[in-house]
Amino acid sequence: MTNLKDIITDYRERRRYKRLQPVAALIDMDGTLYDSMGNHAEAWRIMCEENGLAVTRDEFFLYEGMTGAQTIDLLMQRCRGMHATPEECEQLYRRKTEIFKHLPDVSPMPGARELTDIMKEVGMRRVLVTGSGQNSLLNRLEQDYPGVFLDGMRVTSRDVTHGKPHPEPYIRGMQLAGVTPSQAIAIENAPLGVKSAATAGAFTIGVVTGPVPRAELEKAGAAIVFDSMPECADAFPQLLYEMLTL
Ligand code: CA
């Protein structure tokens, strides 16, 4: 890997940021904090099968980051040639959520606790930025990541008009943290999420945690890509150090 100094300098010059200040961490949830993408894909597949929508399980890894309503609209346009009504979006998403709840429990992503603990220790502001509106995971956050997300420091599907890859979720995250783009680091595992964060102007770290290859995260605009969350957690203190001293 090119060294961190080069990556940071190159990024700063491309963005024309005078300097980078790692004040806030904006963190995605599914596939980043939780090893949940397999269950999501399976819940989508079952819901679609019940409703006569022809899909494959794997296609849902590509839609990761979109809101439920956007995903349903995309499927309805493809399978039925028409937009989904708000009622259909609500009903089908509720059913998908119901199925998800009954699948085997998902685990926190290995390495994610270490990473968020570092962010907490160095005093970075932390904001959750997720396309999800699923309470089954949102309600577990405090238990699995104690003290990481303070009250109100989350952007979910309910807080935005446009989901990822639109920059709105990450712009909202920066507003909650009270930072400018050059003061924000985003952590993402999916191409649409990386695109959202990078377009919003955050230094975006892509982490490979599933079947999507690193080249896709680079193409989507990641400033740097790690091959796992433990690798990301290991390198994070050095990354902060280089940002602060360059
Ligand atoms: Ca994700």
Distance 34 CA to ligand 1 centre (A): 9
Mean pLDDT, the chain, whole residue set: 94
What is the whole-number distance in angstroms between the Cα of residue 31 and the centre of ligand 1?
A: 5
* Spacing, Cα 207 to ligand 1 middle (Å): 10
Structure tokens at 139: 């309600």
Please tell me the distance between residue 128's alpha carbon and the centre of ligand 1 in angstroms.
11
Two structure tokens written together for 164: 């990822």
Split at pLDDT 50, 70, 90, the class of 2 is: low
Q: Residue 144 pLDDT > 70, yes or no?
A: yes
pLDDT > 90? residue 96: yes
Q: What is the DSSP string of 146-160?
A: TTTS-TT-EE-GGG-
Query: What pLDDT score was predicted for residue 229?
Result: 97
Tell me if 4-36+107-245 shares its fold with 37-102. Answer: no
Is residue 91 scored above 60 in pLDDT?
Answer: yes
DSSP category for residue 51: T
Q: Residue 245 Cα, ligand 1 centroid: separation in angstroms? A: 30
What topology does CATH give the domain 37-102? DNA polymerase; domain 1 (1.10.150)
The whole-number pLDDT of residue 30 equals 93
CA distance to 71, 130, 132, 226, per residue, from 164 (Å): 11, 9, 11, 21
- From the CA of 215, how far away is ligand 1's center (Å)? 16
For residue 132, what pLDDT is reported? 83
Domain boundaries, the chain: 4-36+107-245, 37-102
Give 48 Cα–ligand 1 centroid separation in angstroms: 21
Cα 130 to middle of ligand 1, angstroms: 7
Dist. CA 29 → ligand 1 center (Å): 6
pLDDT value of position 92? 97
Check residue 64 and give its pLDDT.
Answer: 87
| Mean predicted confidence (pLDDT) in 34-47 | 95
Distance 63 CA to ligand 1 centre (A): 10
pLDDT of 189-234, one tens digit each?
999 999 999 999 999 999 999 888 999 999 999 999 999 999 999 9
In percent, how much of the chain has pLDDT > 90?
A: 87
Ligand 1 centroid distance, CA of 179 (Å): 22
Q: Is the pLDDT of residue 1 over 80?
A: no
> Over the stretch 14-25, which tens digit does the pLDDT of each residue have?
999 999 999 999
- Topology of the domain comprising 4-36+107-245: Rossmann fold (3.40.50)
Residue 101, judged by CB atoms within 10 A of its CB (0-12, 13-18, 19+), counts as middle
CA of 180 from ligand 1 middle (Å) equals 23
Task: Report how far ligand 1's centroid is from the alpha carbon of 226 (Å).
Answer: 15
